[in-house]
A and B are shown apart, each in its own frame.
Chain A
């Protein structure tokens, strides 16, 4: 077990170094850099000292140095917990991500909870009542939901909210609560805003889960051990939930680890961007768009760390859930 973990960790570390370097390289590849854009913007405003100011910025952020040296500087500071400075916000990356971390995790957890609470019972229902009307309706909806990009759905929902309901659904708080201290009213306000992104995320996310749950449970229900459990005279509900679902849920655990944990940052990025939520996703997109290298690089590294961590957790979780699986 220990050797297994060590090996995985070593592999993850190597992967991290390579991936972070390559992502740094890719972010650096487009012609020009953030400062060129900034220079154009400043001189358009008629700032005469623009040139010298940009030179100062370049020196400050180390943009005048070659890529390798810059990467080394950033990476060695990264290990010490200093992620560099964001060009567009002119503040440390750490502070910006720190502010948004709480809401990002909260929102992701909420969306995940909605998704799983919706998907598992529906998937089980669909499998147990195969070919019933409910199953057919559910399978159709799941099929449509699976192919639906969630940013298009978000645009449609935004249309209904803005034009039909005349509501303000962007952001996570109404204006009066944005800087207020936490109170019951603020939590209520948050919930009022949060259900929309969660619902969109749940619709597009649970569709795939329902299909997988249904297919796996159907396979499991045909297995001899389920027959045996029934033969012992166990209640139908016990047979399904305690015996069959427990095995059929394995692939979902893998998905939880490998997709949903990195999905905390990644999954609803564009959705958050459209709805202007104070989460990490929108700043990540913004950073990629304007070549804010340290910011984008930091987000990418965390994303990949989460991916690797998620895979590891999924493997451990599987071994714990299903005693037949060994970690070697």
Chain B
């Protein structure tokens, strides 16, 4: 009982954070009465600038990264080049003579060896200029794995074999960091989405069963979640992730990691759903359905879970960033996804030494992208939480 109290009080505290203050206008009341629940949700959500902002960030990262990464990058994910750990070639508009070019260009790089540090350094060669072409022919790929294409949103001049555009530099194998960030979004975001989907299935079902049947089943499930929550989050993730054998097929590692994440995160959701089911179970419409002889399964999946859905959705959106973050954290320690795959965690693993930060700081460029997409999911979740409660009359 005391565990209940300590785990729930803070969340209700933050849950009550008021968002949009608004006076009730009479015409708004009329509109509210005649709209369906989801229309109301959308109508409320639209007015929340932060939620919309979050939705835009999430959509952009899903479209650019998860769906069409091949189109939005100049190079393929594991395409290597002779430029090893090259510095970023920032796009320029004004050349050394002070002339303005409408088409941005990058300067060429000259490779040198720093004899004291024994590392490659690149110097900017302003005599070589490579214009950036947009919607340009490049390496062929298959869009969505189906449609063969060779158009990239930007890239070097396809007719000049010397030309190259690494706007964020390259990594230790000469791969374009910008491209890797975009491709990394694919696996990282998908991991969050799939992991969250698994959590939803486990958590919501177990929570609903727990709340609906009560008794021994409830006791068992609740003790299990309490037990899981007694473990500190990061260490348990670390320990579980290191169970996945190194020599597995990368796709299996990916799958294993999603299961680990779902396993660690389902408890909170199950407890929340249980609470909701307990309160909905006593409502008149459920009792009515029950007295008509509806089966347990029908009650559970037609009445209880759909009514708890809005809370479940909010919880899900709020947990996705936690999962993406966990993947980055595990990847950083070398326990997440492993190289041939590219995710944000794998990119983070490349900056896990002070040496990398000192000499190749552009390997840190993925961090702002990770932070922005995490923020996007948080903003979306916050907006949804306010919007999904339209009858609250706030």
Contacts and interface: CB of A to CB of B under 8 A. Distances in A.
Interface of A: 8, 15, 18-19, 22-23, 26-27, 29-31, 131, 143-144, 146-149, 151-152, 155-156, 158-159, 162-163, 170, 208, 211-212, 214-216, 218-219, 250-251, 254-255, 257-258, 262, 266, 269-270, 274, 284-285, 288-289, 291, 296, 299-300, 303-304, 307-308, 311, 314-315
Contact of A158 (B7, B235, B354): B354
Contacts of A214: 17
Interface in B1-49: 2-3, 5-7, 9-10, 13-14, 16-18, 21
Given A23-B231, A270-B333, 18 more contacts: A31-B245, A143-B378, A144-B375, A147-B371, A149-B325, A155-B357, A158-B354, A162-B354, A163-B357, A212-B10, A212-B14, A215-B13, A219-B16, A251-B10, A270-B329, A285-B238, A303-B232, A311-B2
B111 interface: no
A135 to B, nearest CB: 11
B239 interface: yes
Contacts of A266: 232, 234-235
B232 A30 contact: no
Contacts of B329: 149, 151, 270
Nearest to B379: A143
A202 B16 CA distance: 23
Contacts of A218: 16, 18
Contact of A30 (B9, B16, B242, B370): B242
Contact of B9 (A152, A254, A262, A291): A254
User: Which one of B227, B230, B245, B352 has the highest number of Cβ atoms from chain A below 10 Å of its Cβ?
Assistant: B230
Contacts of A304: 230-232
B299 interface: no
Query: 7 tightest CB-CB pairs across the interface, nearest first?
Result: A147-B378, A215-B17, A251-B13, A212-B13, A258-B6, A288-B238, A149-B325
Contacts of A311: 2-3, 6
B168 interface: no
A155 B231 contact: no
Contact of A215 (B18, B234, B333): B18
A208 B11 CA distance: 11
B251 interface: no
A269 B234 contact: yes
B321 A147 contact: yes
B367 A23 contact: no
User: Which one of A147, A218, A296 has the highest number of Cβ atoms from chain B below 10 Å of its Cβ?
Assistant: A147
Interface of B: 2-3, 5-7, 9-10, 13-14, 16-18, 21, 227, 230-232, 234-236, 238-240, 242-243, 245, 321, 325, 328-329, 332-335, 348, 351-352, 354, 357-358, 361, 364, 367, 370-371, 374-375, 377-379, 382
Nearest to A208: B14
Contact of B21 (A19, A131, A291): A131
Contacts of B377: 147
User: Which one of B13, B245, B378, B382 has the highest number of Cβ atoms from chain A below 10 Å of its Cβ?
Assistant: B13
B242 A289 contact: yes
B55 to A, nearest CB: 15
Contacts of A149: 325, 328-329, 374
A149 B375 CA distance: 11
A152 B371 contact: yes
User: Which one of A152, A156, A315 has the highest number of Cβ atoms from chain B below 10 Å of its Cβ?
Assistant: A152
A31 to B, nearest CB: 6
A97 to B, nearest CB: 15
A155 B351 contact: yes
B223 to A, nearest CB: 10
A132 to B, nearest CB: 13
A274 B352 CA distance: 8
A33 B188 CA distance: 30
A143 B354 CA distance: 29
B357 A251 contact: no
B372 to A, nearest CB: 10
Given A254-B6, A257-B6, A258-B7, A159 B14 contact: no
12 contacts: A146-B378, A149-B325, A155-B364, A251-B10, A255-B10, A257-B6, A269-B234, A270-B332, A289-B242, A291-B242, A296-B239, A300-B232
B328 A152 contact: yes
Contacts of B7: 258
Nearest to A299: B235
Given A143-B378, A262-B232, A216 B13 contact: yes
Contacts of A299: 235
B325 A162 contact: no
B361 A211 contact: no
A226 B231 CA distance: 40
A314 B9 CA distance: 12
A23 to B, nearest CB: 7
Given A251-B13, A266-B234, A289 B6 contact: no
Contacts of B371: 147-148, 152
A215 B238 CA distance: 34
Contacts of B334: 289
Contacts of A296: 235, 239
Contact of A152 (B232, B245, B367): B367
A212 B377 CA distance: 20
Contacts of B17: 211, 214-215
B298 to A, nearest CB: 37
Contacts of B2: 8, 311, 315
A146 B3 CA distance: 24
A303 to B, nearest CB: 5
B232 to A, nearest CB: 5
A8 B230 CA distance: 14
Given A159-B361, A266-B232, A285-B333, A26 B13 contact: no
A72 B46 CA distance: 60
A163 B358 contact: yes
A288 B370 contact: no
Contacts of A208: 14
Contacts of A270: 234, 329, 332-333
A314 B215 CA distance: 29
A240 to B, nearest CB: 18
